[in-house]
Structure 1
Amino acid sequence: MKITDVRAHHIRIPYDAGPASFRQGASAISALDMVVVEVSTDGGLTGWGDAFAYVCPKTSCMAVTEMIAPQARGLEVPDATAIPAAMEQVQRNLHLFGRYGITMFAISALDIALWDLAGKVKGVPLHRLIGGAKRTTIPAYASLMRIGVPEQIAGECSKAIQSGYSAIKLHETTVPAVAAARKAIGTGVPLMVDMNCPLDGPAAIRFAHDCRASAPMFLEEPVWPPEDFATLAEVRKQGGLDIAAGENACTVHQFRQMIEAGAVSHAQPSVIKVGGITEFLAVAELADQRGVQVIPHSPYFGPGFLATLHLMAIRDAGLIEMFFMNRPACLWGGRIDVDESGHVAVPQGPGLGYEPDRDVMQQYRVA
C-alpha cells in the first residue's frame, strides 16, 4: 500500500448548546471546526484522519499540507505492523517544528488515516487490529460547555440526564457551579469538573477542598501551566480529590513524565492531539502498568471520535466524552448518536467503520 496523496478538508458545522459558551483565549467556538484528512493510495482505498482544530482550522490545514503531505506521499505501509515505525520516522523528520501542538495534531491525522487504511486492507474493523473488542457499545458522558450561571447549569445537567447520559462533565471554575450540578443530578451520577488550567497550586488545593462536598469524580487540569506536573501532583496529594489531565499532552513521553510525577489518577489522551492511535495505545499501556485510569478526551464529531470508540472498545471499562449540543448534520449520519441508555455503538465496518458523508462534507466545507 503506497500513499499517493494527502488532502486536508476544513469542515464547519454549526451547533446549538443552549446557554453554554466556550472560549479559548479571545476566540469563541461558534461552530464545530474539523480538519478531516483524506489519504489516498495506489490501491484505490481511502483512509480518513482528524487533526485537532477547534479555533485554528486554517493552521491545522496548513500543517497537513506543508508538513505531512510531503512526508506521506510515496510512503509504503504494507500492513498495520508497519505503522508505528513509519510514524516514528515522521515524528523524527518533523521534530524541529515542535514535539507538541500543531505539528502533532497533523501527525495524529495521518496516523489515524493509516490505521483506517490498514483495517480496510484486511477487511476488519480497527478494534480487531489493536486487540479485539471487549465491548460493542461505550457509555458516554455529557460534556457541557461553559455556562457560568448555576441555575442554567442545573437545567442543562437535568436535560442531559433525561436524554440518557449517565455521567456529566462541567467546564466550570466556581464552587457554586459544581454544587448546582450535583444538586441537579443527585448523588449517584458521576460528576467531572474540567477547569482548563486557570489556577496556581494553592488556589487549586483550596478549590478542591471547597468542592469535596459535591464529590466530583475528578478535577481536570486545575493548574496553569498544564505541564507543571509537580504542582499538579501536590494538588492531587493535598486537595483530597482525584486529578485528570492529558488533553494538552502529546506523545507517550510527556504522559510518562506526568505519571511518574504522580500528577494524575486519570490519564486523558486525545487521539487527534497525542499523535494518533499509535501513541494513544502506548499511553494506555503505560497507564495500565502504573495503575492510572484511562478516560480519553474525545468531544469530536470527525474520524477521531470513531477512532476513540475503537480504542475504548478493547478496554474492559471507561467512558467516552460527547459534547452536549444539537447540530444540523453529522459526517456519519445518526450512527454516533447516544442511545436511550446513554451508550454509543462501536462501528463494525472495516477500518474506522464508516465513510464520511461527502454531501455533508461538501455542504459544510470551508473554502
Structure 2
Amino acid sequence: MKITGISLWHVPLTAHVTYTMAAGKSCATVETVVLALDTDIGLTGWGEVCPIPHYLPAYARGVAPVVQELAPVLLGADPVGPEAVMARLERRLQGHDYAKSALDIALWDLTGQAAGLPLHALLGGRQAETMPLYHSITCTAPEEMARIALDALDQGITQFQVKLGAEADWQADVARLRMVREAVGPGPLVYGDWNCGATSLEATRVGRVVRDLDVMLEQPCATIDDCARVRTATGLPMKLDESAYDTASLLEGHAKGCMDVAALKLSKFGGLSATRRARDLCKHLGARMCIEDTWGSDITTAALLHLGAASAPDRVLNVCDLSGYVSPRLAPAGPVRHNGRIAPPTGVGLGVAPDRDALGPPDMMLD
C-alpha cells in the first residue's frame, strides 16, 4: 500500500456555548483542519487538528504549509507502521507537532484499516468498554456555572472542569468553585482551571480559601515551577495541562510534585504515536490522565477514545467528547455520550469517516 494523494480542508466549527477562559481568552468559532491520505488500494486515512487561537503555539493556517513541506516524504510511502513514517517526517522537518498530529492520526487510521482492526487493538488492546467524561464549564457568573453543572449532573456527568480567571477578581473564582462544589454535592470531581492565567499569588489565595472543599486545581500558572509553588502552598491536588507536552515536561512535573493528573492532548504531543508514549510514562509515574485534545470534532474525538480505551482504567481519569461541544459534526454517525460515559467507535481504524461531498472541494490537494 502506498500513499498517492493528500487532501486538506479548513472547516469552521461553532461551540454550543462560548467558552471563556482566563486572561480574556475565549473559544466560540474555531477552524479545524481535516486531512485525508488516499492510497493506491482505495483506502483513505483521516486526521484532524483544531488549534484554539491565542492559546498554544499552534495555528490552523500553519498546518497546510507543514503538510506541503512533508509531502515528498509522504507521497509514495507505505503508511503501515506510523511511528516509522513519523520518524522520517521529523528528520525532514523538526517540531510543528500540532500539524503532524493530523498526519499521525491518519497514518494510524490507514494502519488499522489495513490490519482489519479497530485502533484500540493496535494501541495496546481494549481495557475499557466505556470511559468517564468531564464537562467543561465556561467562566461566567458563579450562579450560572452552578446551574450548568447541575444540568450536566442530570445527564450523568460526575467530573466538572470549572474555568477561572475571566476577570482580575480572585474572590469571584472562590465563589465559582464553592458554588459548583455545593451544587453537585459530595462525590463528583470538581477542578478549577486557569489555563495558565493566574499568578502564583492569586492561585494560592484562591486555593487556601477553598481548602475545606474537595477540589483540584488545574494549571494555574504558565510554568511548572509556579504551579509547584501553588501545589505546595495550598496542599490541593493539581492537574498539569499546557505545561505537559512531552516526556521531559511530564518528568519535570512529576519530579516537582505538581502532576497528580496530566492532560494528554493529542495535538500537544504530535498525535497518537507520541501520546501513547506519554500515556505509558504517566502509568509508570503513577499519574492519572485526561486523554483528550485541544478542540475538534469526530475524527480527533475518535482517535483519543481509542487511546483511552486501550489504557489502564485505573489511570484514566477521564476523556473528552469534543464533537459533543461543537457543530457541525464531521461524522454524524460518530460516538455519542451516554449517562456521562462514552465508548470508541466500532469498525476498523478510527471507525469514523466524514462525507467528502459535505466537506466540499479541498483547500489543498497534493499527489
- In structure 2, how many angstroms separate the alpha carbons of the residues matched to 1:32 and 1:343? 25
**Residues 124 and 326 (structure 1), Cα distance of their counterparts in 2 relative to 1, 3 Å cut:** closer
SS of match in other structure, 1:191: strand
Among candidates 299, 302, 313, match of residue 303 of structure 1: 299
**1:247 shift after superposition:** 4.0
Deviations for 1:286-317, whole angstroms, at most 9, x for unmatched residues?
11111111112335323111111011101232
Contact 1:34–1:54 under 8 Å retained in 2: no
The corresponding residue for 1:152 is 144
**1:169 shift after superposition:** 1.1
The corresponding residue for 2:41 is 43
Deviations for 1:93-124, whole angstroms, at most 9, x for unmatched residues?
212xxx3xxx1111111111111110000110
SS of match in other structure, 1:16: strand
1:165 matched to 2:157? The reply is yes
Residue correspondence of structure 1 range 86-97 to structure 2 within 5 A: 86-95=85-94
- In structure 1, how many angstroms separate the alpha carbons of the residues matched to 2:248 and 2:76? 28
**1:171 shift after superposition:** 1.2
The corresponding residue for 1:269 is 264
The corresponding residue for 2:252 is 257
**Residues 57 and 362 (structure 1), Cα distance of their counterparts in 2 relative to 1, 3 Å cut:** farther
**Residues 161 and 331 (structure 1), Cα distance of their counterparts in 2 relative to 1, 3 Å cut:** same
Among candidates 68, 71, 80, match of residue 69 of structure 1: 71
- In structure 1, how many angstroms separate the alpha carbons of the residues matched to 2:281 and 2:5? 34
SS of match in other structure, 2:93: helix
1:189 matched to 2:188? The reply is yes
**Residues 323 and 177 (structure 1), Cα distance of their counterparts in 2 relative to 1, 3 Å cut:** farther
The corresponding residue for 1:209 is 208
Contact 1:178–1:193 under 8 Å retained in 2: yes
**1:258 shift after superposition:** 3.0
Contact 1:268–1:297 under 8 Å retained in 2: yes
Q: What's the TM-score once normalised by structure 2's chain length?
A: 0.86
Residue correspondence of structure 1 range 135-150 to structure 2 within 5 A: 135-147=128-140, 149-150=141-142
1:223 matched to 2:221? The reply is yes
**Residues 212 and 322 (structure 1), Cα distance of their counterparts in 2 relative to 1, 3 Å cut:** farther
- In structure 1, how many angstroms separate the alpha carbons of the residues matched to 2:28 and 2:263? 25
**1:357 shift after superposition:** 3.2
- In structure 1, how many angstroms separate the alpha carbons of the residues matched to 2:161 and 2:353? 29
**Residues 305 and 350 (structure 1), Cα distance of their counterparts in 2 relative to 1, 3 Å cut:** same
Task: Compute the RMSD of aligned alpha carbons.
Answer: 2.6
- In structure 2, how many angstroms separate the alpha carbons of the residues matched to 1:195 and 1:205? 12
Deviations for 1:149-171, whole angstroms, at most 9, x for unmatched residues?
01111111111112222221111
Q: Which has the higher strand share?
A: 2
**1:233 shift after superposition:** 2.1
- How many residue pairs are counted as aligned between the two chains? 349
**1:249 shift after superposition:** 4.0
- In structure 1, how many angstroms separate the alpha carbons of the residues matched to 2:327 and 2:64? 27
The corresponding residue for 1:105 is 98
**Residues 183 and 357 (structure 1), Cα distance of their counterparts in 2 relative to 1, 3 Å cut:** farther
